[in-house]
Every structure is written in C-alpha cells, then in structure tokens.
Structure 1
Amino acid sequence: MKCLTQELMVDYMEDKLSPEHRRKLEQHFEHCKHCQRQLEQWVDELEEAGKALVEEPLSEDLDRRIISALPAHPVKMLHRAADTRQLPIWKKRSLDIMKKTTIAAATLAVVISGGMMYSPTFSTYVNGVFASSPTNKAEPVGVAGNGLLTRLGDDGIEEAAKKGFLQTPNASVADQGFTLTVHEVVADPFRICILTSIKDKSNKKESHWDAYQEGQITIKDKQGNVLHSSTEKGALKWGLTGKGTGKGVNEDGPYMELVHDLSSLNGGKGLPDELIVAFDIKKIGETNGNWQLEVPVDLKKAKAATKTYAVNKSYTTPQGLKLDVKQITFAPTGVELVVDRNTKEMEYSFELVDEHGSVLGAWAPGFIYGKDGERKNLMSDPRRSKWRPSEEIGESVRDFHYFQPIDETKNMILRLGPVYKQEPAAFQAKLDLAKLEKAPVTVEEQGNRYTFQHEKNQADEPDHYIVRVEATIGNGTAPMNPLSTFGVITDESGKKYDSAFLNDERKYENGQLHINGGLLLKGVKKLPKELIISYDKKYTEHHDAKWEVPIQTGK
C-alpha cells in the first residue's frame, strides 16, 4: 500500500472508511515510519491548539483534575501495557510528558463538546502513537480487584472481576449531545459482560434500552471475521440489565449491563485470544446520530485459567433415558457441565454435592415447580431459563448446564434426581364465554383439576382477553402447569390464539401443586362465543433412578 494522501488521512480521522479499508490503512501505519511521523506532527498541532486554551502553566493538582474530568478513552489508552494496579499514571511519568498528553486529550475533548464528529478509531491510534505502540497490538487495560463489576455483576462476574479478569477500556464516543461509554468488561470462554452507560447533554445517565436493542452489536476477531451480529436473522439478542442506584456507585444514574454467551460462538472451534466488540448505534431516544465504537477484549488470560476434565460416565434409567456425563469445565465466571441424553421426550434433574452432602449446584427443567424444581447457583440469563440452549444431535440432545463458580479443588458428586417423561393426555375445556361471566367452569383430567372463571379486570390492551384459572395438579402428573407448557387455545371456528399463562401464585403442598393465575389470549379482535382450551401431553415424574457420579478434577 502506498503512503497515505492527506485526503485519506482526513477520511480516516472522520471514520469514513469501510472496515476493510480501515484495517489495511492501520496495517500500513504499523510499518510505515513516514506516515507515523506525519501523524505525530498532527498530534503536535493538536497540542499547540490545546496550549492556546490554557493561559497559566498547569499545576500538578490541575493536571490530575483535568485527567479525572476527561473521557477515559483518550488518556487510559496511552499506556495500556502499564500495570494500573500500581501508582497513578501521573506519578510514574514525568510532569512534562503528562502535560503534553493531557493537553492533546483535552483538545480532543473540546472537539467532542463542540459537536464535531468523533472517530474512536482515530483517537485510539493517536494514543497508540504517544505510547510508541501500534494500536492493533495494544492490550486492553486490566485491573485486578477494583471496579464497578466487582459489585454490580452476578456472583461469577464479581468473583472474576475481583480475581483480576476485569478489563477497563473506558472507551467513549459522542454525537448529538449523547455520549456512549463502555466502562468495563469481564469475559471468559463462557460469556462476556460489558458495563456501559449513555449520558445526555446535561451529563445525566439514562437507560435507553432501545438504543442497544435496535442498534447493532457485533463480536468479531482481530481479522474482522464476524462471530456474532445482533442484527442477523434469528440471532440471540444481548441480555440487558439496568443497574440502578445502589451499592454506592450509581448516584448519577443507571448503568446498562450487556451479557452474551461466548461458548457457542465460532462453531465450537474455540475462541481467539482477542475479540473486538463493535457498537453501531444510530438512534438514542428520539435523536438520530452515529455512535460507533470498537472495544478490544483480551481472552488470553481467562482461557489459560479455564480447565476441562473428562468424566465420561453413562447410565440408563428404568424409563429408558440414557445419560452420558461428558465433561466439566471450570472458568473464571462459572462452571459448565456437559450431559448427553438419548431422547427429546424425557428430561432429568440433578444436584452437585460436596463430600459432606452440601448442595453446590442444582438443575431441574424450567417447567418443574416445587421441591423437585429447585435450581441452585445457576448462571443466570435475563433472556431465557438456560444460559446456553441445548443442541440436538440427531435423535439425541446435548445439554449445557452452567453454574456460578464452584471451588475446583472440592470433591464433588453428581446425584441424579427425578426423571420426567412425556406421556399422552386428553384434556379439553369448552368455555361458553357468556355463561362464564355468570358462573365458573370446572374440568378434571386424570387427577388434575382446573376451575375457569371470567376475569373482571381485563388487560389494558384492547386485543387481549384473560380467563382466570385455579388448578390443582395431581400426583399422576409432574409438578408443572400443562396449560403453559403444552396448552392450545382455539375458538368455535378453529382459530388458534397466541397465549401466555400469568402466574399469580404457586404452592406445593402435600405432594400437589396449586396454581392461581390468568390465561392471557392475544390477538382477540372480536370476542368469540366459545373458547376450547386443551393439551394432549404432559410430563410424569419418576423417582426410581438411583445414580451418583464422582467428579474427579485431578487435584
């Protein structure tokens, strides 16, 4: 590639180049001393412009206050290889050099506040020049035991952050008076958690859920190969959790925590040592703009700390369910247990216990309630009941069970619990809605008893309709709600309605499950004369499987 023209440099500064063109240009920067000197000259010009803004010499105290007030991206990227757990940067660098970088960064801040377009790629490279290290080789900033995610994450994220797997890019991009900041990242081969915020013109944080949900967030490798894009058809969206005030860290408004599975990316071939998370947001609230930001994520340390141990133990239950416990993996943010089963028609539950019988983790299918439905120490996901969905392999199924961190040195036993088998059922309730307004209707099916009645307080949405349901699930059925798992609702013409079961109360007493809730029908343009509520299968529960598997970690 030939040396850069002034026009190309301007396009690069303003982030007008395509990703492929930008990558080639940055590769040229890395090896071309002439272009590096030209860029350094531009930085010097930025410095001189910044000096014009400061009438008096900077004191050490003012240096510190300027640094703390600046967006962290320009300053903290300067020496990313430095150990940030040691003394502050102004004590490790001479004051003259620090003034130069501070003034240059302050000038960039003035450009941002003036409403001009801000290129995070250019800013990152400028800072790489100051550090005499090409930006495409710089490491993300790491901080051990200090940061918001040591207090704002779930148990696994917090533990990993405290143990030195916290990265603090503090990268920002501003447009139209809004500033998007990526503050912190925790990532390992299982998942990634990103702490972000959006500030408005008055420097106030707002949640702006839609900005993340409607924008594009891409995970790719250093070569630009896309591993996941939030806008791909069928792609699982990022889990969003608002972190409001509390724990003494959010007085100025909420942060947003974004989580996503990494274990299923890259077709099971393993993850690269470094990922790039690219944000491309076009709208915040009612304001259109351009917020593009690329954040490097270092996985090398977390991958080295992740250990997998083979188990390879099999068992077939009296119902014909064959289970094969394949392996267990310990990573900084949690534990993964891989189990194969030979059929989709049966489910299972289990506990992980230590040598004293204390439960370290427990799994049961999400449709099971009561004492046998206890799920303990699970790695949670706001979008679904399991962190990573099961994968079908022919007629078999591979299940991935994720738990919050468990001490790898503990002696563990997997203890199989109840097994759940799909069985045929024949439940049908025909509800005349005019009569239902006057009196409830009760229908029984193999020990299960349902009472339906008219809901006086209907949903606010005009095309929704609610039927109240009280149910007692008999001993012949697993402690579940067949209506929510297998229920079908049609009217007298055969029209099928989309529905959801709204649980108000669930109680498990004397071996029976009691449910009180509402059956919500959607898309009811005109109320039909009759509703037919039915299900043709359910799960039965079996307690005759006795199996324990020692988990050997070699420690």
Structure 2
Amino acid sequence: MKCFMFNQLKLYVNDELAPAESKGLEQHVENCPQCQKYLQEWVEGMQEVDFSDIPDALVPDTFTDEVMDKLSDAVPPRSTRKHSSRTRRQRGWDIVKKTGLVVAGLTALVVTGTVVSPTFANYVNSLFQIEKNADSGMKNAVNKGLVQKLEQKVTDQGITVELKELLADSMRIAVIYDVYDESGKKIEDHNLNAKLIDQNGKDWFEDDGGDNWGSHGEFFITERFLNEIFESTEATPDQLTLHLEQTEIADKTGKWSLEVPIDMKKAKEATKTVAFKDTVFQSPQGLGIELKNIEFSPSATRVMLDTTFPKSAYLEVERTSILYDRKNPQGAIVTEKERDPAFSGENMMYEITNEKGDVVAAWDMKSLDDELDNKENVLFTPRTEEEAEERPEGDVLNWWHTFGPIQGEQKLKLELKKIYEKKLASPTFDLVPTELDKKAATFKDETGSTFTFSSFAWEPGNGEDLGEAVMTIEGTLGKGIVENRDWSVKDENGKTYAASVSTESTRDKDGRVQIKGEISIPRLKQQPKKLTVSYATYMMEHDVKWEVPIEIK
C-alpha cells in the first residue's frame, strides 16, 4: 500500500504546494520510510547530472580545492531546458536536503574530464540513511551520533566480509556490512553467527541463538533488538563486544571472524526513562494492566507493562494443524488440546498522542487486517513477552511494545481504547462441495456471524503430493467480533484436516466486520463428497477508556 502522501510529493517537486503544506510534508518525510524510498529511487534515477541545474549545496570541510577545481572545469555549459524542468529538479533536491537524505554535499567522480553521476551513497553521511531496510529509528540514531564508521574486513577462500558501519543504541545494535567474492560480486548465500560479550565474558546472545541473516539493499543489514535481552536500559552493560564469525560461506569452508568493541554509555545517556507507580487499569472482563516504564531512545521507544488475569481466564482449545519434522517431512495432521489465555498483552489497542492531539504511536492486535488495525509507528521486535509469574491474584506477564523514536521534551498521553478477548466457538457448516458451484451455501452460527461458501475447486495430488480443495468464503461477523481462528474440516469419513483461511476484512457502516477470501484444505487423498467446516475460537473487541499522562523531561 502506497503512502497517502505520495501525490503531495509530486505537487511539492512541481512547487505547487503552499508554504505551510510544504513544511508539513517535509516533516512527514522525515519519519516515512515509503516516502524516503520514493526519494531515494528518484535520486538514483538521475543517470546524468546537469550541475548547472542543481542549486548550491553545503559541502563538508573535507572537500579539497583540487576537487572543486576539477568539478568546476568539468561542468558543461548551461542547459537550455525549460524553467519547469529546472524547478522540478530544484524542488526535488530541496526536499531531499531538508529531510536529511543529503547531508554530505555533492561529490562527483571525475574520469578523463567527464562528470559521472555518483551513486546514491555519495550523497549521505551514513549508509543507514539510504539502505532500504533501515527504518526511521536507525536514521534518527545517525543524527544523534550513535553510528560509527567501521574499517574492518577479513578475507578467506577468496571471499571477503567487510563491516561498514555500526549502530549502537540502548534498544538495539545493527551492522551494515558486505560479503563479496574476488570479482566484487555480492554473496547473498551467507549468515553470520553473532555473539554479544560483556566484560565478564558472558555471551548475551547464547540463550536465544546467534544466527543473523542479513537483509539486502545496497549492502546487508543485520540487527538485534536489545530489549529481547536486557530488561531495561539501566541493566545494559556499559561495555560490550560484538563478535561475528562464520566457517562456511557459499559452500566454501574457511574462517571469517571480526570483533567490534561497543561503548554503550553514550547510548544509555541518550535514553530517557519515564517511570510509573501504581498506574493500573482493571477491565470489566477481568484483565488488569499496569503501566511500568516507557523508555525513549534515539532509535526506538519501548512501552513496558504487566498484564494480570485470573486462572479462570484460560480456554481449552482443540486445534488441528500440520506438523512438519524429521519424521514427517511431508507433514502430518495432528489434533491437540491446548490451554490458551483469553487475554494477552499484545491484544489491546492504545494510542500515544502529543499536546496537539497528533498520534505519535499506536499499538493494536498484530493479526488484524490492515483495514481494521490502528497501528502507528510500530517496530515489531522478536520478543514481546516474558514468562508468566504466578501470583494469588492471577498470572502476571511482562510485555514490551516497541515503536519508532519519539524525541524531545514534551507532554504526551497514553489512551487505552480496546482490549480483545478470545472466546470458544463450536459452529458446524455441512457442505456438499460439488453443489457449491451451482448454489452457494449460507449459514448463521451462535455468535451471530453469517458465512457463505461457494466456488469449490479440486486439485488432485501427484505422486507424494496430496490433493487440495479450495472454496470461496464470505461473511459478516457478529457484533464486536473481529476475527475467527483455528479452522478445521472433516470429510464424509470423519477424518479431520487443518484448514487455512486467507481473507481480507473491512467494516460496514454499522461497524461490523466483513470478510472475503478463500478457505483451503490441503493433504486430501481424494476429492471429498461432504465437508463439515468449523472454527474453534474467535476474537471479541471491547471498548474501554483509560488515560495516562506522560511527560518527557
């Protein structure tokens, strides 16, 4: 989905926005990865630079008179382009500079008297500002001085691992690096085993595995969120060492080992913590929420809270799934009873707003479709919860919700708006698949939800691959219901199969959720004559209201 501000960018480049609108757009682009990517592609698309059409830009002190003389000599005569083209180029450069994407000034490679268009990396002072997988938090950490250049590389078996930059924030560490062969070709078939060692020799990555796969842009980025390791910024050691190593890359055996010392003191000093005491909300449904701390670091914001719910708030769910393991490489259908909590610290919706009423961050249930959720500025981290602690009042779990950076001294407000509750269901929809193409089958269940099944398709198996049945499913969910989960199907012989439901959701004018998509039943030996479709649980939303003032000093 494209950012809704894309059309504004086009108007900006053409100088068709009012000054107030232009300023607002510039502020938006600072925190919008999609718009930044658009601008990056725009700059990268400039194959030939007409320097006479580019407005003056600040250059770093490192520019030498010699280079400036060469650039001056190499500039071609003034272009005879129309003024409108010059305006678009100028406005484009203007927003790129103002949003921090161009901070190092213009450089060019002078080859035999010809000015060659530089790569986009030449226009920035940090690769974190341009890599497609670098988010707004990484870019903000650059501006706060938490990124350092690295000049480390190791070569073995004709393969080089080169570390480019390190980001060390109290919330996470990240490394931009490159892996290439003797010809300079990038090697994507690799992973780096990482250790994070403190001054006592403890490896903080040891408990949760150390493999780091690099995402790929111009270079590779590997990152680890420290909030999955350290319970707070204060608990983070002042000195750490990142050890990256591998013994096999691209089917070649060797030894690639690099160490990077990390001083965390600057990152910890740049992090502000707002602590809360006895800030508790008790919902009518039995869920207790206690806000503990909010940490504001240059690269991220972390909300820490506890949830408490009674032991009676657990459900025994019969769930059918496909198990893949060494014994069952093709997959085996298993049906098990599992104990699920009715509530979760992930299944709530709240907003954090500033004094102007602008939403600077918003959390919502992860699994909601895009058209239903209210997420804003969320950074999904690997770990969001900690083991349950049993207390007389119920089970207590610790949760971390992570967002992009919220900076500056300001007053904010956290407003809890919804909590979601998982409930059991036991509907049964009896279908004759071959009749669905002639006439759709519609059912209404005990939750008030209505489902229509149609368009049955059968794909027979081939060799070891079993067959699959697919049907269209549409529905209007009961009032307050946002999702149906744990679907399963039985054939005419009573054999149970795991069903996969893929739908898109919208809300109608009455606020009820409409779904439309497909339900697929894999691992069928033959085309079924009859099917009984059911789902085991559904999610109910409850409107609540709880406000907590927050002041960043």
**Would you call these one fold, judging by a TM-score over 0.5?**
yes
Paired residue for 1:190, among 171, 177, 197? 171
Q: 2:265 aligns with which of 300, 314, 322?
A: 300
Counterpart pick for 1:146 among 125, 139, 152:
125
The CA distance in 1 between the partners of 2:128 and 2:250, in whole Å, is 26
Deviations 1:165-224 (A, max 9, x none): 00222322222222222221212222222222221231022432xx21xx5333222443
2:451 maps to amino acid: Y
- Tell me the alpha carbon deviations over residues 370-399 of structure 1, each in whole angstroms, 9 at most, x when there is no partner: 666210011245xx6xx6345433312222
Question: What residue is the counterpart of 2:342 in the other structure?
Answer: 345
**Residues 1:474 and 1:226: Cα distance change in structure 2 (over 3 Å):** same
What residue identity is the alignment partner of 2:283?
Answer: T
- Equivalent position of 2:223 in the other structure: 259
- 2:366 corresponds to which residue? 366
Distance 1:323 1:285, change over 3 A: same
SS at match of 1:479: strand
CA contact (8 A) 2:163 2:175 kept: yes
Whether the 8 Å contact between 1:372 and 1:418 is mirrored in structure 2 is no
Instruction: Please name the residue that 2:377 is paired with.
Output: 377
Q: Contact 2:428–2:532 (CA<8 Å) still a contact in 1?
A: yes
Q: Which amino acid aligns with 2:452?
A: T
Identity of matched residues, %: 26
1:392-403 matches, within 5 Å, as 392-394=388-390, 395-403=395-403
- 1:314 maps to 280
| Aligned pairs for 1:42-81 within 5 A | none
- Please state which structure has a larger fraction of its residues in strand: 2
Question: Which deviations, in whole Å up to 9, do the C-alpha atoms of 1:218-242 show, x marking residues without a partner?
Answer: 322244322114xx6x648646432
Give me the whole-angstrom Cα distance separating, in 2, the residues matched to 1:147 and 1:408: 23
* Partner Cα distance (2:168, 2:469) in 1: 43
Alignment of 1:359-438 (within 5 A): 359-369=359-369, 373-381=373-381, 388-389=384-385, 391-394=387-390, 395-435=395-435
Describe the shift of the 1:507–1:236 C-alpha distance in structure 2 as closer, same or farther (beyond 3 A): farther
In structure 1, distance between residues paired with 2:506 and 2:460: 25
1:242 aligns with 2:219: no
Is residue 2:164 matched to residue 1:165? no
- Per-residue CA deviations over 1:246-301 (Å, capped at 9, x if unaligned) read xxxx3xxxx22222221232577822223233333233334443333333333221
8 Å Cα contact 1:369/1:508 also seen in 2: no
Residue type of the alignment partner of 1:535: Y
CA distance in 2: counterparts of 1:315 and 1:289, whole angstroms: 56
Structure 2 distance, partners of 1:474, 1:359, is 29
SS of aligned partner of 1:164: coil
Aligned counterparts, 1:364-513, within 5 A: 364-369=364-369, 373-381=373-381, 388-389=384-385, 391-394=387-390, 395-435=395-435, 440-445=440-445, 446-454=447-455, 456=457, 462-463=465-466, 465=468, 467-480=470-483, 482=484, 485-491=485-491, 497-498=497-498, 500-503=500-503, 505-510=504-509, 511-513=511-513
Partner of residue 66, structure 2? none
Answer with 323-332 or 170-179: which moved more. Answer: 170-179
Worse-matched range after superposition: 435-444 or 413-422? 435-444
- CA distance in 2: counterparts of 1:261 and 1:360, whole angstroms: 21
The C-alpha deviation readout for 1:406-444, integer Å capped at 9, x for no partner, is 124121011111222223322223445555576544333
TM-score norm. by structure 2 comes to 0.62
Q: Which residue of 1 aligns with 2:118?
A: none
Aligned ranges 1:191-206 → 2 under 5 Å = 191-206=172-187
CA distance in 2, matches of 1:278, 1:460: 48
Distance 1:290 1:228 in 2: 20
Alpha-carbon deviation of 1:336?
0.8
State the shift of 1:401 in Å.
1.1
Counterpart check, 1:221 vs 2:198 = yes
Preserved contact between residue 475 and residue 516 of structure 2 (Cα < 8 Å): no
Q: Is the 8 A contact 1:326 1:339 kept in 2?
A: yes
* Cα distance in 2, alignment partners of residues 301 and 369 from structure 1: 39
- Is the alpha carbon distance of 1:466 and 1:306 closer, same or farther for their aligned partners in structure 2, counting shifts above 3 Å? farther
Letter in 2 for 1:226: D
Count of residues in Structure 1 that have an aligned counterpart in Structure 2: 389
Amino acid at match of 2:128: L
Paired letter, 1:393 = E
Contact residue 188 and residue 332 of structure 1 kept, 8 A: yes
Q: Is the 8 A contact 1:413 1:550 kept in 2?
A: yes
Cα contact 1:370–1:479 (8 A) shared by 2: no
Deviation at 1:351, TM superposition (A): 0.5
Segment of structure 1 superposing worse, 529-538 or 342-351:
529-538
SS of the residue aligned with 1:365?
coil
Mapping of 1:99-110 within 5 angstroms?
Answer: none
3-state secondary structure, aligned to 1:451: strand
Residue matched to 2:40: none
TM-score by structure 1 length? 0.62
CA distance in 1, matches of 2:269, 2:414: 26
Change (3 A) 1:500 1:86: farther
Aligned to 2:136: 155
Does the CA-based 8 Å contact 1:146-1:162 persist in structure 2?
no
Check the 8 A contact 1:420/1:478 in 2, yes or no.
Answer: no
Equivalent residue of 2:537, what SS? strand
CA 1:337–1:267 in structure 2 vs 1: closer, same or farther (change >3 Å)? closer
Q: 1:457 to 1:526 in 2, by over 3 A?
A: closer
Instruction: Measure the CA separation in 2 of the matches of 1:323 and 1:235.
Output: 31
**Gap runs ≥5 in structure 1:** 1-84, 89-144, 244-249
In the TM superposition, residue 489 of structure 1 has moved relative to its aligned partner by 4.3
1:550 to partner: Cα distance: 0.5
Q: Which SS does the other structure have where 2:145 is aligned?
A: helix
CA contact (8 A) 1:464 1:520 kept: no
Q: Is the Cα–Cα contact under 8 Å of residues 336 and 400 in structure 1 kept in the other structure? A: yes
Taking the aligned partners of 1:275 and 1:495, their CA distance within structure 2 comes to: 55
Label 1:495 to 1:471 Cα distance change in 2 as closer, same or farther (>3 A): same
Higher helix proportion: 1
> SS of the residue aligned with 1:421?
strand
CA contact (8 A) 1:325 1:340 kept: yes
Q: For the structure 1 residues 323 and 146, does the alpha-carbon distance in structure 2 shift closer, same or farther, using more than 3 Å as the test?
A: same
**Are positions 1:331 and 2:297 aligned together?**
yes
Q: How far did 1:464 drift?
A: 6.6
Give yes or no for contact 1:177–1:200 (8 Å, CA) kept in 2: yes
Q: Secondary structure at the match of 1:476?
A: coil
- 1:440-493 per-position Cα deviation (integer Å, ceiling 9, x unaligned): 44333233222334564969994473523333233424322x1xx333345556
The whole-number CA distance in structure 1 between the counterparts of 2:256 and 2:185 is 17
Deviations 1:33-74 (A, max 9, x none): xxxxxxxxxxxxxxxxxxxxxxxxxxxxxxxxxxxxxxxxxx
Find the partner of 2:246 among 276, 281, 299. 281
Q: Which amino acid aligns with 2:289?
A: L
Conserved? CA contact 1:261–1:388, under 8 Å? no
The letter for the 1-side match of 2:182 is K
